Amino acid sequence: MIDPKYVELIHREIDGENSPAESQQLHAYVQKNPEAQRLFNDYKILLSSIDEMEEITPPRALKARVLNSINPNMYKQHRTSFARLERLFESWGTRRYAFAFSAGIAVGVLALVFFFDLHIPIEENNSLTGTIISSKVPNDFALGDAFNVNLPQVEANLQTKYSNNIVVAELALHSPDAVEVLFTVDGVDMCFSAFKQAEGGKGHLVVNENTSKLTSIGDQNYVLFFTDKTGSGKALDVKILQKGQILYEKTLLPKH
Amino acid sequence: MTDQSDAILVKRCLEGDGNAFEGLLDRYQKTVFNVVYRMVKDVEEAEDITQATFVKVYENLRAFNPKFKFFSWIYKIAVNESLNYLNQRKRVTELDEDIASDTDDPESALHGVETSEKINECLMKLSPDYRVVIVLRHFQDLPYNEIAQILDVPEHTVKSRLFAARKMLRKHLIRKGFQT
């Protein structure tokens, strides 16, 4: 039988919570009580075994999955569009008027677009999702390999662009039935980074290790981003499949 | 980027700097993944829960109070996501009340607990409330007060749960064959 007071002291000892006097008291007790000694030793063995357990490395695709799941403009839009107005109205203590005012502006802009058919360039379209790329980057891109496929099952146009550490694949697809596009990278120096498609797009991307599988139907436009750690431009293997059958494949490289 | 404090990265993120969140993700993805994995013991489920955790963190960054430690906040979200998942799945082995109230067996002792798999198995036999204190205390080396903050319980509750959890874990390991 172990005195409950000493059971608590054992727990506190292995947590490093005992004072020197309490530690001394405990050690004197366990020397005289074999049952307490066993319990103390068991906990020490258990905790040292846990200490020896290695940390698990998360799957490589986890980071890309997270970045692909968030709206990168969530805070950017707030800052650039409405933050000043909101601060102004907050300072007046009339936040609800801020929403009414903002809604009025939004309705006005929409009316302008509707009635005057304003052209909004796709680069400025905030409805695009999944980007982590800076708006300055496109100016630094060099064109890489491209392909143009015209088959009964699918029409595809793909252009690669290379920057220092970023590889972009811009893909236009037309397919009456679903097709899959596999993007394969080496997974070490180059890995998937982000994915964009226009709002309402039907594309579905699954990233698994070094392969990104895009499923698409109809007329769609996509942009995929890959991170190239070497900055020297790595190969990007692309395959277009339908029902498991390869329709087209090509290895794309930068143009040095 | 790694030299910057969490608070600065959060501030930059709220100012619209997308790279700042990537910095937080790089810093905490392994830790969060490991906490979640120890709770659910399944790599794919841990990946899903870790992803959900970071999305929640990102979407609620404005709610983060910089007076508190960012990692405590992210741990709290990860733990809650894990507990929600476990509650939904109801696949946890119920706490063996006999073990919780058992008296110590003087003939039993742990020897040669060399396989992490055995510890993982026994950890999964604890109810989530007990498992989480073992994970935070012994896998993440967090002190009582931080565990209390993460779990929203008083410090004395953390201690009593931790002591009970160790006792149960020892019993399960002994039942697995770690006996003299």
Q: Dihedral sign for Cα B165, B166, B168, B173, please.
A: positive
pLDDT 10s digits, A161-178: 888 888 889 999 999 889
In A7-26, the residues whose Cβ lies within 8 Å of chain B are 7-8, 11, 15, 17
Classify A172 as helix, strand or coil.
strand
Indicate whether this complex's ipTM tops 0.90: no
Percent of chain B whose pLDDT exceeds 70: 82
pTM of the predicted protein model: 0.56
pLDDT digits (tens, 9 = 90+) for A99-140: 666 677 777 766 665 555 444 343 333 333 444 444 344 456
| Distance in Å, alpha carbon of A66 to nearest chain B alpha carbon | 5
Q: Contacts of residue B15 in chain A, CB cutoff 8 Å?
A: 75, 79
Q: Which residue has the higher pLDDT, A201 or A183?
A: A183
Residue in this structure with the two tokens 């530690």, named with its chain if needed: A23
* Confidence at B116, pLDDT banded by 50, 70, 90: confident
What is the structure's pLDDT at A95?
56
Interchain CB distance below 8 Å, A74 and B58: yes
pLDDT at B174: 87
Q: DSSP string covering A107-159, please? A: HHHHHHHHHH-----GGG-TT-BS--S-TTGGGG-EEEEEEEEE-SS-EEEEE
pLDDT band at A30 (very low <50, low <70, confident <90, very high): very high
Is the minimum CB–CB distance between B130 and chain A shorter than 8 Å? no
In angstroms, how far apart are the furthest CA atoms of chain A? 93
| Nearest residue to B16 (alpha-carbon basis) of A125, A138, A135 | A135
A126 touches chain B (CB under 8 A): no
- CB distance B29–A58 less than 8 Å? yes
CB contact, 8 Å: B72 with chain A?
A: no
Residues of chain A in contact with residue B158, where contact means CB-CB under 8 angstroms, are: none
Which residues from chain B sit within 8 angstroms of residue A8, using beta carbons?
163
Q: Across-strand partners of B59?
A: none
